[in-house]
Amino acid sequence: MKLDIIGDIHGCYEDFKLLTEKLGYTWEQGYPQHPQGRKLAFVGDLTDRGPSSLSVIETVYLLVKNDLAYYVPGNHCDKLYRFFLGRNVKIAHGLETTVAEWEQLNKIEQQRIKGMFKDLYENAPLYHILDNQKLVIAHAGIREDYIGQYHNKVKTFVLYGDISGEVHADGSPVRRDWAKYYKGNSIIVYGHTPVREVREIHRTYNIDTGVVFGGKLTALQYPELTVKSVPSSMPFIAEKFRTFDNQPVVAKQSQ
Ligand code: MN
C-alpha cells in the first residue's frame, strides 16, 4: 500500500491543493487523484482557523467515499461534529471561523455540508490500523497498549494526546511526551501538536508542521517514509510551535 499521509490542514485548502500537486496528484471531479493509484490519508483537524474549512471537508468526504483516502478525526473534528448535532459547544479556538463560513451558506447548502461532515465523522474509526498493523494513524498518536482498543480513554488519547488533567499557566492542557516512551513496532503517524519540522522518534512521526500558524503543510509518504512539504500561506506565529529539548530529530527530506 502506498500512501501520502497529510498533517492537520485546519482549513488551509489552497496549501493542501499545492501539496497534492507536489505529490503528483491531479485534480479531477473536485478531488485529487494519483496516476499510480497512491492514496491519501488524513490525521484529522481538517477545519478551524484557516480560510476554507468547508472546501477541505467536501474534498476529504469525496476522497473517502471514493475509497481514495483514509481519515481519522481530530479534536477539532469532534467539536465540529458536536456543533452539528446541536450540542452546546463553545464557538472558540478556531471553530468560530468554520461556523462563520457555514452560516454564510443558504439552508440547502448548510444541510449538504453538515450531512457530508456527519457521514465522514460517523464512519471514521478512532484511528486506522493499516498494512497488517505496520502502520497506525491517529490524530494525537496512540500508546502501544491502546492499539486494538476502543474505549473512552483511547478516544481521549487519540483526540487530545496524553493529557494528565493538569494545565499550564495560560490554561492550555499539559500534554505528556508519549512518543518519547513508545516502544512498539508499528509506525505511528500523527499530528495535533504543531512542530517546526517533522518529529521522528521511536518509529513515531508528528507531521503537524503548523500550516495554519504559518509553518508548512506536510505529507509523510508511506512506505518510503519521505517527507514532502509546502510553505504556509498564513502569517507565522512562533509561540504556537512546540519544541522538544535535546530532540531536534528531523525525518529525511525529499523535495
Ligand atoms: Mn490540530
Rounded to the nearest angstrom, the distance between the alpha carbon of 132 and the centre of ligand 1 is 27
Residue 193 Cα, ligand 1 centroid: separation in angstroms? 6
Whether the pLDDT of residue 250 is over 60: the answer is: no
Spatial separation of the C-alpha atoms in residues 156 and 165, rounded to whole Å: 11
Residue partners of 172: CB distance under 8 A and separation at least 6: none
**How many A from CA of 10 to the centre of ligand 1?**
7
pLDDT one-digit tens code per residue, 46-90: 999 999 999 999 999 999 999 999 999 999 999 999 999 999 999
Quick one: pLDDT at residue 254? 55
- Rounded distance from Cα 94 to ligand 1 centre (Å): 10
Ligand 1 centroid from CA 212, angstroms = 9
Residue 251 Cα, ligand 1 centroid: separation in angstroms?
Answer: 20
Q: How confident is the model at residue 172 (pLDDT cuts 50, 70, 90)?
A: confident
Residue 245 confidence class, pLDDT cut points 50, 70, 90: low
- The model's pTM: 0.94
